[in-house]
Amino acid sequence: MTRNSVQSAILALAAAMILTLPSAAQSSRLKPFPITGKGSQRVNISVSYQFFTAGETKSVSDQAALADQGRRHLYKLLAKECEVLLETIATECAMKRANVNTQLRNRGGRNRREGVRVSGSATYQVELKPQQPKE
């Protein structure tokens, strides 16, 4: 089997799996969100971000400054997430874990910008707001 045919077979298998996921998810018995009833329920919620910060990357100090700028922006997004959760679905929120990565892109060229790619994720533990029964 050639490399191209192996790659095609893998892509076909992945596509078939993705197409069957929605029907499998619909048939499972999941509780509606948010959970109704008395008592509180704590859940973990994970959020991920990715963005690109364009800028000069020729010197080490330029690279460090650009990476710092990107991380600062990401930290602000991660810190704001508890506000969003409290406004929408949570009565309590605490960040339990965070992961931040920066990747330098310093090879400019055709249609490639210099800069830093920033990605990160965080896991929050929240207590869900009880859903009000419909009258």
Rounded percentage of the chain residues whose pLDDT exceeds 90: 54
pLDDT band at 24 (very low <50, low <70, confident <90, very high): very low
Pick the residue with more confidence: 119 or 12?
119
The set of residues, in sequence order, having a beta carbon less than 8 Å from that of 126 and lying 6+ positions away, is: 42, 43, 44, 45, 85, 89, 90, 91, 92, 93, 94
Q: Is the pLDDT of residue 87 over 80?
A: yes
- Amino acid 75: pLDDT: 96
Indicate if the alpha-carbon torsion angle 29, 35, 36, 39 is positive or negative. positive
Q: In the chain, count of helices (H) and strands (E)?
A: 2, 3
* Predicted confidence band of residue 72 (pLDDT cuts 50, 70, 90): very high
With cut-offs at 50, 70 and 90, classify the pLDDT of residue 27: very low
Q: What is the mean pLDDT of residues 77-95?
A: 95
